[in-house]
Every structure is written in C-alpha cells, then in structure tokens.
Amino acid sequence: MTFVRSLPPRDTMLAGIDAAARLPEHDRPGAVAAAIQAFAADPALLEGLDCPCCPDRYVRHLLHSDPAGGYAVVALVWRPGQMSPVHAHRTWCAFAVHHGALTETYYSQDEGDLPVPAATKLLMRGEGSHGPADPALIHRLANLSCRTAISIHCYGVAFDRFGQDVNEIHAA
C-alpha cells in the first residue's frame, strides 16, 4: 500500500487507516498497522495537539472516530513505569510507537489459567504490532524507559465502546 504525503502527516495517516479499516476483516490489522507505521515516526504527526500525561496511569487521547463506529484511533501517553494490564483483545487492533520506546511482553497461559511471560519485544519509534480479536493473544505494553512515550493505536470498535469491547483483562 502506498501513502501519499500531500496532506499533513496526521490527516494522511488517518486517510490510510480509513482505507485499511474497510478491507476484509482478516486483512485489517496488518493494513492498519502499515498505515500507522508509515507515519508514526514523523515528529509532526501530533503537531498542534495537546496530549498531556497522567501521573497515575497511561492516558488515551482520541485522534479520530469513524462516523460509522467501525474503529477509533487514539494516542496513548505513557510516563516512565506505566503499563497496561495483561490483556487480550476482543477486537482487531494495531499500534506503533510515535515517541520514546515501549516494551511488549507476550504471555502464554499455564495449567492454572494464569498468564506466564513467554517473549518480550522492545519497540522503538516507528515500530509496532497488530493482531486480530483473539483471546489467546495475550500481551502487555509497558514504558520501561526513563522518558515519556507516545503510541498511536487503532481498535476495531467505536471510542465510546473501548471500556467494554477492547480489552479482556487477565491480570492488572
């Protein structure tokens, strides 16, 4: 997929995400990830937006919500030491690091149904990950660095449904 850079980077990225989100469901996560990763490292991506952090937890800032409710794009701001819960996704998702670095840890489930770390990947600026809705794909994102990180995420549900339709929590 080729992305034209005639618009500001955020608008071009969102147009690419919109086109990718209309593909058949099995192709969406990878295509949306490609659209995000094509612009994630651009320093001007969030230009003009106020994306403050929170001392207690990572914060989501809405960048775009599909009018039809099929997906939403958010910027997550992570202070050092902040992390997501251990979770799987109830919907497809894709993300990339815009600023800083994040560590993604993948988990398997032991015989007692508890998540056990299985692999870790350091994601630098412009790098990301994606996946379908799959209760077996369990992971955690964490900012283990000494500076604030920002990542761009797209989930296959409307923003107002994030609380109940995105994460299936396995451990805090």
Report whether 164 contacts 48 (CB < 8 A). Answer: no
pTM (2 decimals)? 0.92
What mean pLDDT is predicted for residues 158-167? 82
- Banded pLDDT at 1 (limits 50, 70, 90): low
pLDDT at residue 6 greater than cutoff 90: no
**Above pLDDT 90, what percent of the chain?**
78
pLDDT at residue 2 greater than cutoff 70: no
Determine the Cα–Cα distance for residues 148 and 141; give it in Å rounded to an integer.
Answer: 14
- For residue 100, give every residue at least 6 positions away whose Cβ sits within 8 Å of its Cβ, in sequence order, or none: 78, 125, 143, 145, 147, 148, 149, 150
- Banded pLDDT at 143 (limits 50, 70, 90): very high
Find where tokens 């799959």 sit: 134
How is residue 4 written in tokens? 């034209």
Domains, in order of start, for the chain: 9-171 (2.60.120.10)
What mean pLDDT is predicted for residues 46-71? 93
Question: Which pLDDT belongs to residue 4?
Answer: 53
Question: Which pLDDT belongs to residue 69?
Answer: 87
Average per-residue pLDDT for the chain: 92
Report whether 119 contacts 106 (CB < 8 A). Answer: yes
- Banded pLDDT at 7 (limits 50, 70, 90): confident
pLDDT at residue 3 greater than cutoff 60: no
pLDDT at residue 46 greater than cutoff 90: yes
How many alpha carbons lie under 13 Å from residue 45 in its C-beta half-sphere? 24
What mean pLDDT is predicted for residues 13-35? 96
